[in-house]
Amino acid sequence: MQRIPLLAGNWKMFPTLAEATELARGISTPAIPAGRQVMLAPPAPYLHGVGEILRESGVILASQNICWEAKGAFTGEISPTMLKEAGGTMAIVGHSERRQIFGETDKMVNTRLLGALQHDIIPILCIGETLEEREKEQTLAILEGQLLKGLTNVPNHSRSKIIVAYEPVWAIGTGKTATSKQAQEAHAFIRTALADIFDKTIAEQIRILYGGSVNPTTVDELMAEPDVDGALVGGAALQTDSFLRIINYTA
């Protein structure tokens, strides 16, 4: 089946309010190419403002993280209902920076993912290996383990909604990008693992994004691979012209 490519920009903790506003306007003004989706994940304080700009544009609003509860004593978290009130419909979960810097475990990532699904938020589950794990030839075992634990107890009716992002930790913010061959090998393995976890039909429906120093120079070759269904973009999504070139990739 044909999967709709998703070009997702994760702004992390970089733009000021003025910069976020300018970026949102610049990215949402041109028409989105037919048969593609575009998503932006601004810092949490800017969700409402960016959401207002994106409204009616077709660009999807997402959060960089998500809590599993609608409300409560969870200092520093953003709830699914808060995201939805801002106009958001997607959320990144398990980003390597959340895992590596803030110590989020596979179990917590799974809790966030299930909470998002319960509130009709589409989760983008991030998985990926460190440089040390790759050098020890543990990449496939790491990916399989993160998938198995991250996708525990996902209801049957929600499985095809999930998006997976393969982000090799060694390629994030380093300027190093996995070759298109390396990305395809990992994505093909992930799709096979998804077929084992769920079934082949669901695995063919789930979109798998590549994340890791994606830029206008590398995007065309990456998107030409059969199992690469989009990109989770960091630094290159912070410049309007750069991200628009990624959105308008040719493959």
Which is the catalytic residue, given 95, 97, 119, 187? Answer: 95
Residue of 9, 28, 33, 30 lying closest to 249 (CA atoms): 33
183-203 core/surface letters (b: 16 or more CB in 10 A; e: else): bbbbbebbbebbeebbeeebb
Q: Residue holding tokens 């590398």?
A: 218
Which is the catalytic residue, given 97, 104, 167, 187? Answer: 167
Q: Judge contact between 35 and 5, C-beta under 8 A.
A: yes
Q: Judge contact between 104 and 144, C-beta under 8 A.
A: no
Q: At what angle do helices 240-247 and 17-28 cross, to 10 degrees?
A: 30
> 167 an active-site residue?
yes
> 95 an active-site residue?
yes
Any idea of the CA torsion for 181, 183, 189, 190, to the nearest 10 degrees?
-160
Any idea of the CA torsion for 193, 207, 243, 63, to the nearest 10 degrees?
-90
Q: Kindly list the catalytic residues.
A: 95, 167
